[in-house]
Amino acid sequence: MKEKGARSHKYAAGQLVRIKSGEEISAGLDSAFERDGCVFMGPMGRWTGQIRAVKKLVYSCFDEFSQQMFRPRAPLYILEGLICEGDTGDFQPRCDRSCPLLWHEDWLEPPV
């Protein structure tokens, strides 16, 4: 069932997707390593080329910096088994929250 006001997504929960190569993803990022506000963190590169199942579609997120809920500008996904391990290098000490990683729809494609 589609959430009220939600945009259409290419992929559904349970569907297999392939994470594009680092080169393909990098080509669409801005100087802050973002695409439509979604950050591609360096450690996410270890999963490029892998095939994963979509765990969940993301319709809204909580921005801890602004302390507000927001709707992503583009379709985002959580993929099965992929979490932030706190090794982004941006946090001192290392973060141990194990948050799900958000994947922009443009970084995914159907498996071959």
H helical segments located in the chain: 22-26
Q: How do 108-109 and 76-79 pair as beta strands?
A: unpaired
- The per-residue pLDDT string of the chain (112 residues; one tens digit each, 9 = 90 and over) reads 444 545 688 999 999 999 999 999 999 998 888 888 888 988 899 999 999 999 999 998 887 778 888 888 889 999 999 988 877 565 566 777 788 999 999 999 999 8
Chain centroid to CA 6: 17
CB 73, CB 94: distance < 8 Å? no
Structure tokens at 2: 């589609």
**pLDDT of the residue at 36:** 85
**pLDDT of the residue at 1:** 45
pTM here is: 0.82
CB 72, CB 38: distance < 8 Å? yes
* Paired residues of 37 in beta bridges: none
